[in-house]
Structure 1
Amino acid sequence: MSTNGHSLPLIETVGLKKYFSIAAGQLHAVDNINLAINPGETLGLVGESGCGKSTLGRVLLRLIEPTSGQVLFKGENILSFDKARMRQIRREMQIIFQDPYSSINPRMSVAEIIAEFLIVNRIYRTKTEAFNQAAKLMDVVGLARRFANSYPHELDGGRRQRIGIARALSLNPKFIVCDEPVSALDVAIQAQILNLLMDLQDELGLTYLFITHDLSVVKHISTEIAVMYLGQCVEKAPTEILFNNPLHPYTKALLAAIPEPRIEMRQKKIELIQGELMSPVNPAPGCRFASRCPYRKEVCTKADPMFYSYEEGHFVSCYLYSDQSAC
């Protein structure tokens, strides 16, 4: 499924699945995901905690091996690559973690953390050259060079996240998974980091998968948005279309829950999601949102809905739109 008329996405998934074996059976963390991200664009991936967003991001990078499916990077299935080929391709695919402090070595200085990938991958002949490049990367992400010899515990959350961004940029990647990179930061710092990521995308031609549970954040940075629920993608559309015309009942509920700082909105009635959350372990056939959906029909609990094309670029997995063509 290509988007926006581009012939070849930078990264694409085909029937991607990741099941975890537990005592009770198979936990369907990622279940039949088909997504495509074009070069220089951002796909926002939203959903509540535990829906499989971060697992999908890690499977894309083969930090977690999938159960089945394909991950196509520049048209090649990276799941077929051996370790040597994967080591090369990982220079072009990086990740920015949610908690920068837990993802960096507390015993290394800022300059050592940023230069680590350059040294391990032998990008430069000497460590001096690697540290000079690390200093330049500090400039790129807006981190003052006076912090080069500081340690992570001496810095605030915003500066720590800038370290993580600089490290991710060190190998000149094409694709970056941003795994909730601003959720642990206060609002003012969130805006700074988001603007930094957008500026870097413009300057370096980066492609992002931006994972978050906050729709107001993803609206600011994303070209397209995909909504996940219990391991499945339930809706995908260009950002403006999704906000102006949400189709899936779950997407509508997420949008209704966004706080609006206007006095007249005090009278707004918020429709709460009712019902019990379905277990992702050995899920029964049918729509996984059916038990909480006010519009459910009998067919919703019989078989999984297909990913229907409602309009160009707008796809939804819901029987309310089953008269549309399936993707």
Structure 2
Amino acid sequence: LTVRKDVTAPTINIISPTLNELFGTYAPSFNVEIYDANLDSMWYTLDNGLTNTIFTTNETISQSAWDVLPNGNVIIRFYANDSVGNIEFAEVTIRKDVNAPIIAINNPQNSDVIGATAPNFDISIDELNLDKTWYSLNGGNNITFTGLTGTINQALWDALFEGNVIIRFYANDTLGRIGFVEVTVRKDVTAPTINIISPTLNELFGTYAPSFNVEIYDANLDSMWYTLDNGLTNTIFTTNETISQSAWDVLPNGNVIIRFYANDSVGNIEFADVTIRKDVNAPIIAINNPQNSDVIGATAPNFDISIDELNLDKTWYSLNGGNNITFTGLIGTINQA
């Protein structure tokens, strides 16, 4: 009687999948080489033997078994035995990833107001197998970037009209799944408008500081201020009011330029000014003729005076504290009656 002794287990060679190969929703196929003169059965497991799947030829991993596995590393272990019970196994670790990248925008935030300078961005991405990242503005061209922070392309930002801008960030993984998230910001490159109602051009003021009435508009108004000295001293205001009396007091007589400023929350700034006049001195009068102690007869005398006053209004005289007699000019004759 002749028998055969077999104490050698089958040999298993895993051709594919390969170590750390990445797969997504669809279960991977496998290609294994298994040899034994007395080969009996072949099977694999994805869960360390809790569930075993018999196969007779290279094929695709059970989709239902694949579906229940979480993302991450998956160990596929292939077994084979022969007719006398010798058993062997070989395994390969692959990766499963069925989720698209998850993106969170840290900055900018929805409704942020942004000026002429393109904004910076800061995002977070939850994706172990990240491939590429890019963004678009209002559905325009895709701009690829690397890393998680950066600055929006200035040329593209410049080309946008004012108003809402949708910044959409994209990311894909090495299996081609794409995730995106967007934020809507507002572009504002227009400075506030300023309309000076009062005081008016060349209006005259004396000892007391003038009040002002200005109309200032901007959807994103931040601050308003004025200056009487070309910016050396700035006074912030929130409503129409009276010019600072202390600032007014130190100004000399003559022209005064009041310049009103306003800016918005992104730094756009505008100004408007008005020139008024300050005069706190009474007119200075010099009598050239007649002179003190002049002796005058029956004919009323002529007079000749000088007046130092840029803002002269009216002139008049009286005799011995009597009625006021209005006159014009700097020379004349005392009323004969």
TM range (shorter): under 0.3
Higher strand share: 2
Question: TM-score normalised to the size of structure 1?
Answer: 0.20
Question: TM-score normalised to the size of structure 2?
Answer: 0.20
Q: Which has the higher contact order (CA 8 A, sep 6+)?
A: 1
